[in-house]
Structure 1
Amino acid sequence: MEVEQRDNECIWYDPALVEGDPRQYFDIHFWHQQAAVTGSAKGRGTTFFIRGPKMEMALRHYYRGGLFGKFVKDQYWFQGWEATRCGAEINLLAYLREKKMPVPRPVAARAVKNGRTYRADILVEKIPGARDLVAILSENSLLAHDYRAIGRLVRRLHDAGVCHTDLNIHNILRDRKGKLWLIDFDKCQQRDGEQWKEDNLARLHRSFKKEKEKRQIRWQPEDWAAVLKGYNHIRK
């Protein structure tokens, strides 16, 4: 990952994926002019899907959530470039890719400083043909071996020492070939110790139960046992 740093701006980018000036990669008007915007998704903000020169990508601006976010939409306190939300996320994705984890390939990230605060954007690979588990379970049930695969995926993440602080079934995808992926590593970090791993699993469990109540997904409480079997490397 290359880094370009100026007084008020820092850009991280993969030179194998970025052609020309990396700054234009964060300009949605530039992509519209290229007729390269293929879609968008609404969340805390809008994520734009872009057909890039090397792959399809997702461009996301960082927005605050919660009550504070109603007053300060997208500004964060500056504590150094590597501590920015985008810098931390793109470096964590690069680390996980080195560990052969199925996470989106990081393309580029940018933080722009204004006084004591900054705004940020990140550009990552869009996994082709992938859908999150909520969408999948809204239509079909999963088999026990699917849930064991989910458990194994989380175990690999934990073995790499990474806590996904928003581990839920919106952030676990499955592509057309059945491969599972993890996305959205904003505010995630490497951790020592063991207790956080149990807490992280419990968070995922709550996500299944929440979506069952909210959307009536095709998940049953007994399916969780298969997730734990996969996590603990129990084959049957």
Structure 2
Amino acid sequence: MQVLEYDNDRIVYDPELLAEPPQQCLEPMYWQQQGAVIGSASGRGTTWFVRGKRLEMALRHYYRGGLFGRLVRDHYWFTGWEKTRSLAELRLLQHLSGAGVNVPRPVAARVRKKGWLYQADLLTEKVAGARDLVALLQHEPLPQERWEQIGQMIARMHGCGVCHTDLNAHNILLDAEQQVWLIDFDKCHLATGEGWQQGNLDRLHRSFVKEVAKAGIRWDAQAWQWLLIGYQAKAISPPEAG
């Protein structure tokens, strides 16, 4: 990763993945002018899917959620460059990708410092042909093998000491080759000790139960047991503190 600093901005980027100008690639308008926008997704903000010279990517600006987010939409309190939302997520993705966990590779992150506040953007690899579990399970159930693979990938993430604070059915993808991917590591972190792993699994279980009622997904207790079989087969102890 290389670091570029100018004015009150800091950009961290991977020159092996990014062929475009780092100062411009984190602006949606740049990709629109290049005719390189290939899609978008709406959530708290808009995620832009773009086609770069070396790979397809997803560009996201960080927005606050909840009641406070209505007042301060996209500014955060600055306490250090590496503690900013975009750089922290980039470093976590680096850690996971380097350990063999299927996560989008980080391409570039920007922090725009404004006094004691900052704004943040992140550019990551777009997983080709991927769909989340909610979209998939609305049409057909998954076989036991796939559920076990999902459990194994979650265990691999936990083995790296990463606590996914928003592990849910929307943040697990299957690509065109039926490979499992984990996404959305904003506000996630490295953790030690015990208990947090089960907390992640409990959150995921609640997500499946919710989506059965909300989206009519084809999921049941047997599918969950298959996931746990895969998880327990690959689970290893998290690293100890210090």
Aligned to 2:26: 26
Aligned to 1:135: 135
Q: Percent same amino acid at aligned positions?
A: 54
Answering whether residue 74 of structure 2 is matched by residue 80 of structure 1, we say no
Q: Which secondary structure state, in structure 1, belongs to the residue aligned with residue 49 of structure 2?
A: strand
Q: Which secondary structure state, in structure 2, belongs to the residue aligned with residue 26 of structure 1?
A: coil
Unaligned runs of 5+ in 2: 235-242
Answering whether residue 36 of structure 2 is matched by residue 36 of structure 1, we say yes
Structure 1 CA distance, aligned partners of 2:2 and 2:190?
Answer: 22
1:230–1:18 distance in 2 versus 1, CA, 3 Å = same
Answering whether residue 107 of structure 2 is matched by residue 123 of structure 1, we say no
Deviations 1:62-106 (A, max 9, x none): 000011001000000000100000010001111111101100011
Structure 1 CA distance, aligned partners of 2:171 and 2:159?
Answer: 19
Structure 2 CA distance, aligned partners of 1:141 and 1:93?
Answer: 29
Moved over 4 A (4+): none
Q: TM-score, normalised by structure 2?
A: 0.94
Aligned to 1:222: 222
Structure 2 CA distance, aligned partners of 1:152 and 1:27?
Answer: 36
Q: Which secondary structure state, in structure 1, belongs to the residue aligned with residue 57 of structure 2?
A: strand
Unaligned runs of 5+ in 1: none
- Residue 172 of structure 1 deviates from its aligned partner by 0.4
User: Given that residues 132 and 172 in structure 2 are in contact (C-alpha distance below 8 angstroms), is that contact kept between their aligned partners in structure 1?
Assistant: yes
Aligned to 2:162: 162
Structure 2 CA distance, aligned partners of 1:119 and 1:2?
Answer: 20
Q: Which secondary structure state, in structure 2, belongs to the residue aligned with residue 213 of structure 1?
A: helix
What do you get for the CA RMSD once the two structures are aligned?
1.1
Aligned 1:42-57 pairs, distance under 5 A: 42-57=42-57
- Residue 4 of structure 1 deviates from its aligned partner by 1.7
- Write the letter of the residue equivalent to 1:107: V
- Residue 20 of structure 1 deviates from its aligned partner by 4.8
Q: TM-score, normalised by structure 1?
A: 0.97
Structure 1 CA distance, aligned partners of 2:216 and 2:32?
Answer: 38
Q: Which secondary structure state, in structure 2, belongs to the residue aligned with residue 150 of structure 1?
A: helix
